[in-house]
Chains A and B, each alone.
Chain A
């Protein structure tokens, strides 16, 4: 079945860029997603990219997709303390969505 891997922790200084990486195994995934979970809160759909795209930009967020390497990344420009959260990569697989373990982003003021 689909397997999604992410690094568990990332720490950046306020104002720097954050890059969260994800790898997946199922090359047939059509849409690939990033969700954000703030402490004690639900899963907020942050952005997604269709598999025929290489890049999608939405304000401070840039999603890059390398289908050949099955690698997805989320770049947050000008990272703010409010961006501190857990970021989940999620792709369709043998279930509607298979999630990674999440990357905890800590922003240092």
Chain B
């Protein structure tokens, strides 16, 4: 069964460092998303991406964050200068042409120290 894959599964980084989280969405999907889940809290929407541009973003997705689809298969989330409060599980997701069913990856656990 096709799946969304994410790397790394776990990353520890120092405060102020840049982090890039990588995702390979399901191959024929057109909509891509990043969500995050701070430990013990709700899963929160960060950003959606369609047709090579951001289609929606939340208040959380400030200037520290950026997304990119550098080639036909990868979708990345960059955090420019990490803060302690960026520590969370980051989920990549994708959906097909109707955008209705959203499939999530296993997540990348980011720890900022």
Q: How many B residues are at the interface, by size bracket?
A: 20 to 34
Which of A31, A42, A44, A96 contacts B45 (CB under 8 A)?
A96
Which of B33, B44, B58, B91 contacts A42 (CB under 8 A)?
B91
Kindly specify which of B63-71, B76-84, B95-103 makes contact with the partner chain. Answer: B95-103
Interface string of B2-32 (1 = CB under 8 A from A): 0000100000000000000000000000010
B contacts, CB < 8 Å to A:
6, 31, 33, 35, 41-45, 48, 56, 58, 91, 93, 95, 99-107
Known A102-B42, A102-B43; 11 more pairs at CB < 8 Å: A31-B101, A41-B106, A42-B107, A45-B103, A90-B43, A95-B45, A95-B48, A95-B58, A96-B33, A98-B45, A101-B41
